[in-house]
Amino acid sequence: MLARPFAVARTAAAASLAAAAAPYSSTTCSRRLEITNIISNSAWGSARSASTVSQRLSNSRRCRSTDSAQQQRRSLTTVVREDASDRETITRLLYSLASRKEVERYLRIFSAANKFAVLKVGGAILTHQLDELALSLSFLHRVGLYPVVVHGAGPQLNEILEREGVNPDYIDGIRITDAKTLQVARKVFLEENMRLVEKLESLGSRARPIPLGTFTADYLDKEKYGLVGKIYSVDKEPIESAIRAGCLPILTSLAETPDGQILNVNADVAASELSKVLEPLKIVYLNEKGGLFHGKTKELLETINLDEEYDDLMKQEWVKYGTKLKLREMKELLDHLPRSSSVAIISVDQLQKELFTDSGAGTLIRRGYKLYKHSDIEAAGAERLRSILKENDEEVRSGRKTVAQFFSELSKTPYTIYGDEPGDVVAFVAHPSGQQVPILTKLVSTKNGVLNSVTDNVWSLIKRDHKRLIWTGRADDENRAWHYERADGSFTRNGRSLFYYGIQDVAEVERVLREVETSGRIERAYLPLHATRPASSATGTRGLHTSARALSRSCSTPFRAASGRRGYATAVEKSGPLPGETTEKKRVALIGARGYTGQALVSLLDKHPYLSLSHVSSRELAGRKLEGYNKEEVRYSNIGVEDLRKLEAGKGDSAPPDAYIMALPNGVCKPFVDAVLQGSKERAGKNRAKVVDLSADYRFEKDWTYGLPELYSRQAIRDATLISNPGCYATNTQALIAPLLPYLDLSCPPTVFGVSGYSGAGTKAAPSGGSSGGGASKTVPKIAPEDLAGGVRPYSLTDHIHEREASRHLSKLLGAGHAEDALQVAFIPAVAPWFQGILSTVSAPLSKKLTAKDVRALFEEYYAKDDLVQVGLQVPEVKDISLTHGIKIGGFQVHSSGKRVVAVAALDNLLKGAATQCLQNLNIALGYEELAGIPLD
């Protein structure tokens, strides 16, 4: 994928092993708490079951308590394996932030870097966000990364000084430091340093305090500033020693003179001087604002490319005082560092997103590159272009076309060459005169071009010049996601994908493509078979794909787009039956049948007219008869990963099923999915089985289709092999918000309060002696009514996985001009003492006035053809939807201002929130009528 500049990292295999094998002290017990906290903290992903990890850690603690040499050696081996497993678990959590490829790519880059990152932490964060900071740092430590932390303590110091009657004084933003101030400062710095170290240690991540000994300084100006230092030397050894020992180095910004006098140094300055010596990939400044903001529009400045923008920025009227100083300091710092280094200014809660996703967070500042454009090969440097193409262009390297051939073809029409001065990226755009659409004939990038986002800069220059564009690429290109994100539409034919932007109408797409094909500007293989309505595909590899940007919604006509249907890209095709529905009998394997959702699926499949169960997997119940399934006798079997691969490859004792339902806990599904995919490859020439995953593991993956038929593409589900089943809360939330999207005030996002029955917490095995039925294991709720004492218990009050899930997918419905995360839903869940059923209430600020009648009409029209959604006047209650298969929405009320709407939705979390929705997706994917086997009463 072509990405933001690769930012940060530090770890080597030896360092990781050292960290894994390092001795454990009293922190061992807290490792379980730390893993559990991180796994349950949905800022980094879905709630993951920590029982296995906790048990493993408990076992290793008992092993380490023994004295024999043999047992100690075994213990060390266990610890190494456990830590590797812990890293694997936490790495999987990162997949919920971004695609797996993004995360793994950044981890590879970070692991290969000489130094990882320097993090400057403000004193206010240590006061107000210590827990969040420690969890973030512990998270990085667990995946084998070692950021160097430099912290300040300004607010704490001011508070103590003011309490003692000393007024802090500054000149040019520098604190005047006398002996009294320095005495207090030293005490405060040491205390704050130890607070952070102890917090990290309590989470099981080893940290080493380095309050002094790193920075050597002279007096900045003793007469003017007092005991303030100017760093002239940085000793790396204490830092590298800490990392070699598997510890996070935690530094203060105190410096010393050669004769031992302690001097105060601004923490930003200390971080800058440290970075010049370490040359990290990333310098991260953590602050409460979360970035730099435009002085007039107040919008976040997401990216600043200094080589291109610095001079103009410094001339802007709104760039003054602190902003101007900050930009000047950042430029001075980056001018001393390799171009691969960058600065990020972010908030604590965005650290993982900044480090492991292409979209990043906060403000990214980099040197960038000077760009050029030429309309002549010689002006761009023929030999340089020839060298770039020979080394980096697949078509030229494979011998399918020579550079001379390409130059000859390019010269037949007017063209523009775009690139950067170092020659890391070059793009060729052919643009014949008249109304013909320009074609991007080649876009070639070196590794440096990708790492430093030069490709994105060149792309921005191309988009400025061309309002419409067509380009092509291999369908199996590992960077295809980059192309999909920049296209309004695409389709794939014969292993090649064609992308376009700026062409809004499907008929216009057909006309343009026939025109360029006739003129020989693209191969015939790219044209679609026939004109068809837009069919958005989550995978982007089937049929004709038209994105939300290509079918933008007009505020003046909120219900009709040019096609005469709803203006959302997915809504164009969401209603009505799909063609070619079948009644052929097919078989399903249920992997992970325990738990309430598994039981509900068994009951539904028992009554399905066409589907039958071929396999039911449960390690604990292996050999026992499956209760509640009466079509035929089916017994539980223990299907491991290798068994699953053999089954799908046709090497097992029975024929492969037509579909797999993964009903496994969050975080453990991947090896089973990989086994199915591997088995499918081995069974070459046969249709691949469909996979529906009920966990949260793949709801953010671009290679998976998100299966919520009432809102998103049914055709995409029909075409998909891999389908992620939405979360129960996320289903209810999206159903409540989708019809309101064209009227929402996006600057003040909607809030949803959801209350679920305790079945939503899942099940656990009964304690010893709790079995019944011939020894069959019995499951009980993880949370029971008595645990709630008859009340409601809120939990995961921010960053719940379903909050991000709903926000991400609803943002795709907004249309042109909106970012991927344009809508940020606020979601607050709670668990209640009833068994099953979810009640969700939305409070949504509006951008224009509506009446309650208008809102109800919106919902009625939106869901007019969806049999599982009922819209009514009354507020739905849990009793209305318990044991039913649909969603009920009602209770529409609008605030007296006309600018805030409240509505309520209810669904059964085990059925429409899980099992029923799974069966809908399975029916569509296998070619059945969508509601086959689903009772409508």
> Which active-site residues does the annotation give?
728
CA–CA distance, 742 with 337 (Å, rounded to integer): 46
Say which residues have a Cβ less than 8 Å from residue 434's Cβ, sequence separation at least 6: none
B/e letters for 843-866, b = 16+ CB within 10 Å, e = fewer, are: ebbbeeebebeebbbbbeebbeeb
CA–CA distance, 549 with 542 (Å, rounded to integer): 18
Work out the end-to-end distance of the chain between its first and last CA atoms, rounded to an integer number of angstroms: 47
| Tokens read off for 286 | 């953590």
The DSSP line for 685-728 is TSPPPEEEE-SSTTTT-TTSEE--TTTS-HHHHHH-SEEEPPPH
Nearest Cα to 879, choosing from 870, 888, 871?
A: 888
3-class secondary structure for 309-371? HHHHHHHCCCCCHHHHHHHHHHHHHHCCCCCCCEEEEECHHHHHHHHHCCCCCCEEEECCCCE
Residue type for 701, please? Answer: E
CA–CA distance, 93 with 43 (Å, rounded to integer): 10
Largest Cα span, the chain: 92
For the beta carbon of residue 224, count every other beta carbon within 10 angstroms.
Answer: 12
B/e letters for 89-109, b = 16+ CB within 10 Å, e = fewer, are: bbbbbbbbbbbbbbbebbbeb
DSSP state of 519: T
3-class DSSP state of 293: strand
The residue with tokens 């709720």 is: 781
CB 239 within 8 A of CB 215: no
CA–CA distance, 420 with 427 (Å, rounded to integer): 10
3-class DSSP state of 733: helix
The beta-strand segments (E) located in 391-478 are 415-420, 425-430, 439-445, 469-474
Q: Measured in whole angstroms, how far is the alpha carbon of residue 702 from the centre of its chain? A: 10
The DSSP line for 223-292 is HHHBSBEEEEEE--HHHHHHHHTT-EEEEES-EE-TTS-EEB--HHHHHHHHHHHH--SEEEEE-SS-S-
User: Pseudo-torsion of CA 864, 869, 874, 879, nearest 10°?
Assistant: 160
559: left (phi over 0), alpha (psi -120 to 50) or beta: alpha
Type and span of the H or E element at 372: strand 371-374
Nearest Cα to 847, choosing from 553, 549, 555, 551?
A: 555
